[in-house]
């Protein structure tokens, strides 16, 4: 069967004309939508959301707790170095400072945390750490900030981070200073000088530390970001739209619940068809509504009828609230919605446990990023200032907070020990205690004794792999 489409030339012409005239409107419509979904969020908006939304505040605080609160230990056999660095960390209130840095990364700094290291006048020690307000104009030096980099600006662009001959950032700047006569003046930290306004306040000639560098005074931290940028980003920015929609839904549901369920007084006229005087309505309102509460019981005449306003159904809006809270939790990397919903809504318990483990693994990845930055931007510079062997900075290992992973790890270690694959060793025992955030100093004497007797380097007397496989097969047969 052949189908022939008949068209009206006049209608076709009008359709084309209409399409041409609507192109500009259509383009403007889509550009408006794009602007709505791609507009970046300011630091002030993120901070306001943190202050007004309990779910956002809890998510950020929980991430801080998971990353920083478990603490860390140093992977080193040099007990004196370990004691020196951990004493310094306690002195400068390191964990408290890092918690503020992580909060700045997620909220106020929009992905960035900034720290000023408080060196002594001679530059031979660091005695304090000061968190810099990200809203004070702190940033890397850009090509446009340096007149002597006009050629680099031509090739790289004036907004790019200014780099030195070793491809390292040339320095840092802060638009608003904090202290005394320098308040509000621009501060610049470079390798060979630090200036506040027009005054030079530091140069390498006054510093007694090894390889003095003015840039060592500033430490920049980030946990998320793209490789093309020196600055970081925050997952809270990607969750902002969902949080605002959910807050509006909460407001709407709250208003509905507050205004719903009110009392309606119906006053019937004394004579059918005659109007009810306003004074009579006011009399009933003043008499009954003024002191009305759920415990009140009234005996009233038949001609007065009191009813409650119907409470609107909020189930659909409630589901939407959970949906947007789930989206926000996904953006932040935390299945926080599991804590808010009933068991029926959560799904089976194994799924909840798996999501908790996934979150813990994500937090472990962030802990490793933060550990490397603490290692090289704080401990490395401290050891350099103290003229220590700063090329061998110990690795930082953060402890785990998740009981599920600890339990699985303990079970795994127990299985290895049962197979005699792990024998008692004071250094192994110390490492395990440190991972569990338990005291381990009592093993230092034993480690020294083992070193003295040369036991630490003795070859293992474990069973052969063949024997272990045979035993495992026998156990599996028995079970």
pLDDT at 257: 61
Please, which pLDDT band fits residue 278 given cuts at 50, 70 and 90?
Answer: confident
What residues does 171 pair with on adjacent strands? 190
Say how many domains are in the chain.
Answer: 1
Rounded Cα–Cα distance for residues 219 and 240 (Å): 28
SS3 220: strand
429 found inside a domain: no
Q: What are 129's two structure tokens?
A: 């750490």
pLDDT at 304: 63
171: left (phi over 0), alpha (psi -120 to 50) or beta: left
| Pick from 125-129, 150-154, 192-196, 306-310: least confident | 150-154
Cβ atoms < 10 Å from Cβ of 301 = 9
pLDDT at 236: 92
CB 233 within 8 A of CB 210: no
Please, which pLDDT band fits residue 319 given cuts at 50, 70 and 90?
Answer: confident
Q: Is 278 exposed, middle or buried (0-12, 13-18, 19+ CB in 10 A)?
A: exposed
Task: Give residue 303's domain range.
Answer: 263-308
**pLDDT tens digits, one per residue of 212-242:** 899 999 999 999 988 878 999 999 998 998 8
Rounded Cα–Cα distance for residues 468 and 474 (Å): 10
110: left (phi over 0), alpha (psi -120 to 50) or beta: left
301 found inside a domain: yes
7 found inside a domain: no
Q: What are 195's two structure tokens?
A: 């200036």
- Which has the closest alpha carbon to 116: 196, 8, 41? 196
Rounded Cα–Cα distance for residues 341 and 355 (Å): 15
pLDDT at 6: 45
303 found inside a domain: yes
pLDDT at 330: 84
462 found inside a domain: no
Pairing of strands 126-132, 113-119: antiparallel
Rounded Cα–Cα distance for residues 393 and 385 (Å): 13
- Which has the closest alpha carbon to 443: 77, 31, 67? 77
206 found inside a domain: no
DSSP 202: E
Q: Does 300 score more than 60 pLDDT?
A: no
Helix (H) or strand (E) run with residue 304 in it? strand 304-308
Q: Does 3 score more than 50 pLDDT?
A: no
Q: Average pLDDT for residues 25-50, to the nearest whole number?
A: 72
pLDDT at 38: 57
Q: What are 74's two structure tokens?
A: 């140093």
- Greatest Cα pair distance, the chain, in angstroms, is 112
Q: Average pLDDT for residues 383-406, to the nearest whole number?
A: 82
288 found inside a domain: yes
pLDDT at 279: 77
**pLDDT tens digits, one per residue of 320-334:** 888 888 888 888 887
CB 352 within 8 A of CB 346: yes
CB 325 within 8 A of CB 301: no
**Half-sphere exposure at residue 214, Cβ-oriented, CA atoms within 13 angstroms:** 21
Cβ-Cβ contacts under 8 Å for 165 (sequence gap 6 or more): none
111 found inside a domain: no
- Which has the closest alpha carbon to 217: 119, 94, 102, 93? 119
199-202 sheet: strands from edge to edge: 138-140, 171-174, 187-190, 194-196, 199-202
- Is the model more confident about 398 or about 157? 398
**pLDDT tens digits, one per residue of 279-291:** 777 777 677 666 6
Q: Average pLDDT for residues 446-455, to the nearest whole number?
A: 73
Q: Does 456 score more than 60 pLDDT?
A: no
- Is the model more confident about 384 or about 32? 384
**Rounded alpha-carbon distances, angstroms, from residue 39 to 42, 106, 221, 237, 395:** 10, 18, 25, 10, 40
pLDDT at 114: 96
pLDDT at 221: 97
């Amino acid at each position: 069967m052949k189908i022939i489409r008949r068209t009206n030339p006049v209608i076709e012409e009008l359709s084309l004309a209409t399409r041409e005239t609507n192109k500009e409107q259509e383009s403007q419509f889509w550009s408006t939508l794009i602007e709505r979904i791609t507009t970046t969020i300011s630091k002030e908006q993120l901070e306001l959301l943190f202050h007004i939304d309990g779910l956002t505040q809890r998510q950020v605080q929980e991430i801080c707790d998971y990353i920083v609160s478990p603490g860390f230990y140093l992977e080193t056999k040099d007990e004196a170095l370990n004691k020196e660095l951990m004493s310094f960390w306690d002195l400068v209130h390191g964990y408290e400072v890092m918690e503020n840095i992580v909060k700045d990364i997620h909220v106020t700094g929009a992905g960035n945390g900034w720290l000023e290291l408080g060196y002594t006048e001679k530059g031979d020690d660091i005695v304090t750490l000061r968190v810099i307000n990200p809203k004070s104009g702190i940033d890397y030096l850009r090509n446009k900030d340096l007149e002597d980099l006009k050629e680099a600006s031509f090739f790289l662009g004036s907004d790019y981070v200014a780099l030195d001959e070793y491809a390292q950032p040339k320095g840092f700047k802060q638009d608003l200073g904090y202290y005394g006569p320098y308040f509000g003046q621009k501060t610049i930290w470079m390798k060979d000088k630090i200036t506040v306004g027009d005054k030079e306040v530091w140069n390498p000639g006054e510093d007694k530390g090894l390889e003095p560098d003015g840039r060592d005074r500033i430490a920049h931290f980030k946990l998320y970001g793209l490789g093309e940028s020196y600055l970081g980003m925050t997952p809270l920015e990607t969750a902002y739209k969902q949080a605002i929609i959910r807050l509006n839904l909460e407001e709407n549901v709250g208003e509905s619940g507050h205004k719903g369920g009110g009392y309606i007084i119906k006053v019937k006229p004394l004579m059918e068809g005659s109007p009810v005087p306003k004074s009579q309505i006011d009399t009933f309102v003043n008499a009954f509504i003024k002191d009305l509460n759920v415990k009140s019981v009234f005996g009233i005449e038949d001609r007065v009828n009191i009813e409650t306003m119907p409470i609107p159904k909020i189930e659909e809006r409630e589901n939407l609230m959970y949906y947007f809270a789930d989206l926000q939790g996904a953006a932040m990397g935390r299945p926080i919605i599991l804590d808010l919903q009933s068991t029926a809504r959560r799904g089976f318990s194994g799924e909840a446990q798996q999501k908790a483990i996934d979150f813990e693994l994500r937090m472990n990845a962030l802990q490793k990023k933060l550990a490397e930055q603490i290692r090289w931007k704080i401990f490395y510079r401290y050891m350099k200032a103290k003229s220590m062997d700063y090329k061998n900075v110990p690795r930082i290992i953060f402890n785990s907070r998740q009981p599920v992973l600890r339990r699985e790890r303990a079970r795994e270690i127990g299985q290895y020990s049962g197979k005699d694959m792990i024998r008692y060793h004071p250094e192994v025992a110390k490492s395990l205690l440190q991972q569990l955030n338990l005291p381990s100093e009592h093993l230092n004497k034993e480690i020294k004794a083992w070193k003295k007797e040369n036991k630490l380097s003795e070859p293992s007397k474990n069973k052969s792999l063949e024997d272990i496989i045979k035993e495992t097969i026998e156990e599996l047969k028995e079970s």
